[in-house]
Structure 1
């Protein structure tokens, strides 16, 4: 039984992304770096719940989100942040805010794909299929052989669906609603970031 007084990460995530979706779909969206990085930070515990298979994703994602959160003290919006990197000619350099934004976007994509697969696989207690499919779709094309191999091995140590729900302090029905809510709300947010990259002729496959 879920403890109503305990942390409910899925609810926090879906609420934050609904607010972010409202920002990115407004008539002339100005997306504050602070709002974006805060919403993204709420996703971080999910990678931790998935165990060793996604340890690389958790470490990478958390570091990149932290960088954006720090950047928010000196940069107002995502557009301004990307424009500054373009001016400084450092967009593709390791550690640039823009490069980190692209990596964070990929993390959001991964969770969206994972939730879609979990919802679609109702009745199965294994997360191996949903996690493998979403990894293959989002991360695998950008990873070298060694990381792909490590992830494949780590898939055998994934929690079961019920273990994941326990970690997230959720009941099945509620979790499904919150996951679907994130899927719906994250779609325009991910599209906004991708459009930002395309509008600056930066592309997203690097």
Structure 2
């Protein structure tokens, strides 16, 4: 079963990824956020309690009782996404840190003094739209709707990437399907420096078998466990896809999908 593939000399390393994030001329108005992100990357710890089952269950529960997307369960689901990203080690650290920052902001809205307006995605968007809280032309707008939109875009990538795992063999590298998923989703929202860092990182992704082993080390020795992990991936992708499609429709209805 495969391990991490060794990138060719022109594919770069994690240090190249961080350097790409730190180039000043490319960062523009996002410079402070990138500096904060790259600093946090070096302190990132690998999660030891990631659960594919929880990834599926939390996202499923976010739409199980309401088609409006329950934000509390959405946050729990994304905490599992964050843990999954850390399992990839330094490869996706900068993505994981950014996700964690967005989760923390969203959690404050969901549990703060104004929490009644932040129970579901629908109530949050309606409340912020009605009160002109979304600054449509400013990238540093801290509104809950814009914060969750950033996670929503990341979810699009995760769903497409993990959904493609079923179509490759255990010995196939994950880099090509990850790169394809990225180019179809997140790339258009990223400045050049982030695009460069992301693609360099993807070159370091393991094979499908290596990825499964990271999620569940026991799968390396037990074919039945391996098959269960693969089935759990499919279940998680299906629940995340449902959440993505529902969220997409809510944002589209309020003409918010293309805000920067």
Do both share a fold (TM > 0.5)?
yes
Residues 125-183 of structure 1: per-residue CA shift (max 9 Å, x gap): 42211221111121111112221112222223223333322321263312211111112
Distance across 2 between alignment mates of 1:122 and 1:177: 14
Matches within 5 A, 1:71-82: 71-73=109-111, 74=115, 75-82=118-125
Kept in 1: contact 2:216–2:229 (CA 8 A): no
Tell me the CA shift for residue 89 of structure 1: 2.2
Kept in 1: contact 2:88–2:214 (CA 8 A): no
Distance across 2 between alignment mates of 1:119 and 1:42: 20
Output the TM-score relative to the length of structure 2. 0.68
Tell me the CA shift for residue 53 of structure 1: 4.2
How many residues end up aligned between the 2 structures? 197
Q: 1:190 to 1:114 in 2, by over 3 A?
A: same
Q: State the SS of the aligned residue for 1:54.
A: helix
Kept in 1: contact 2:171–2:207 (CA 8 A): no
Distance across 1 between alignment mates of 2:216 and 2:186: 27
Matches within 5 A, 1:152-191: 152-169=199-216, 171=219, 172-191=226-245
Kept in 1: contact 2:69–2:247 (CA 8 A): no
Output the TM-score relative to the length of structure 1. 0.84
Tell me the CA shift for residue 193 of structure 1: 0.8
Distance across 2 between alignment mates of 1:60 and 1:175: 27
Report the equivalent of 1:196.
250
Tell me the CA shift for residue 77 of structure 1: 2.1
Q: Unmatched 5+ residue regions in structure 1? A: 1-5
- Given candidates 127, 142, 150, the residue that maps to 1:84 is 127
Matches within 5 A, 1:1-206: 7=49, 9-24=51-66, 29-73=67-111, 74=115, 75-91=118-134, 92=136, 93=138, 94=140, 95-169=142-216, 171=219, 172-204=226-258, 206=260
Distance across 2 between alignment mates of 1:35 and 1:200: 23
Kept in 1: contact 2:63–2:69 (CA 8 A): no
Tell me the CA shift for residue 44 of structure 1: 0.9
Report the equivalent of 1:3.
none
Distance across 2 between alignment mates of 1:23 and 1:107: 24
Larger-gyration structure (1/2): 2
Which moves more between the two structures, 165-174 or 129-138? Answer: 165-174
Q: Unmatched 5+ residue regions in structure 2? A: 1-47, 220-225
Compute the RMSD of aligned alpha carbons. Answer: 2.2
